[in-house]
Amino acid sequence: MSRLNIHAIRAIYKFEMARTWRTVMQSIISPVISTSLYFVVFGGAIGTRIPEIDGVSYGAFIVPGLVMLSLLTQSISNASFGIYFPKFTGTIYELLSAPVSYVEIVISYVGAAATKSIILGVIILITAAMFVPLRVEHPLWMILFLLLTAITFSLLGFIIGIWADSFEKLQVVPLLIITPLTFLGGSFYSIKMLPGIWQTISLFNPVVYLISGFRWSFYGMADVDVGISLTVTLGFMLAGMAVVAWMFRTGYKLKR
């Protein structure tokens, strides 16, 4: 196997990261303000009616879910737009004809998207600490779930960016699939609070495993065994890698 072109990876990565600072209002400030409003509405209004869940105040309980909600949507948005824009302008063909492998292209774009999402996630955690008392019982696991989720959904965003042939299509999957699954995946409640049949149905929602594992890293409580959550997350990441490899191998929507 040939060595990775570190210079190419660094150049694409730096270019993508520079775009974040040019659109800091949209990339960072807007999601943080939106998340703060969630704390005010859900943590303040609803939290007064739901004092605790398994010994954790409701305001603190929803923090992992809110971080995951932002992480999932921003990872997809950053990665999908990052690869779609070169397709839209036609510069993607210059990149594909350059001495840069598809592995290096994916590492650059997915790495930049994941980095942006993780930075946002950390900012949201700091913001959350201003509203509610936070504790992280398993910090290494928290970092692991944060990294795996950011990479996995950046891969999904990369796939969507290649698949989409219009700006409208970039929004279809996040708005109609990912966001509803996140809201129904235990972001604001424990699925153990649901009736039996709905608990079973919820287990078919893949986002449940991501939020459950991430919440466990904070409070040691989970709707699903943490080992299963980790396995599902790794499975998603490997599936994303396989789809991206297939796209480049076949030239799916990458050839003129």
Residues 156 and 223: their CA atoms lie apart, in Å, by: 25
Does some domain include residue 182? yes
Global pTM value: 0.90
Number of domains in the chain: 1
Phi, psi of 98 (to 5 degrees): -75, 160
B/e letters for 96-119, b = 16+ CB within 10 Å, e = fewer, are eeeebbebbbbbbbbbbbbbbbbb
Tell me the pLDDT tens digit for each residue of 149-187: 999 999 999 999 999 988 888 888 888 888 889 888 988
Residue 158 confidence (pLDDT): 95
Residue 1 confidence (pLDDT): 46
Does some domain include residue 1? no
Does some domain include residue 81? yes
Does some domain include residue 69? yes
Tell me the pLDDT tens digit for each residue of 227-248: 999 999 999 999 999 999 999 8
Tell me the pLDDT tens digit for each residue of 177-223: 888 898 889 888 889 888 889 899 999 999 999 999 999 999 999 99
Domain span holding position 13: 6-250
Tell me the pLDDT tens digit for each residue of 69-121: 889 988 999 899 999 988 888 888 888 888 888 899 999 999 999 999 999 89
Does some domain include residue 92? yes
Which residues contact residue 161 at a Cβ distance below 8 angstroms, ignoring those fewer than 6 apart? 79, 80, 81, 82, 83, 84, 87, 170
Does some domain include residue 159? yes
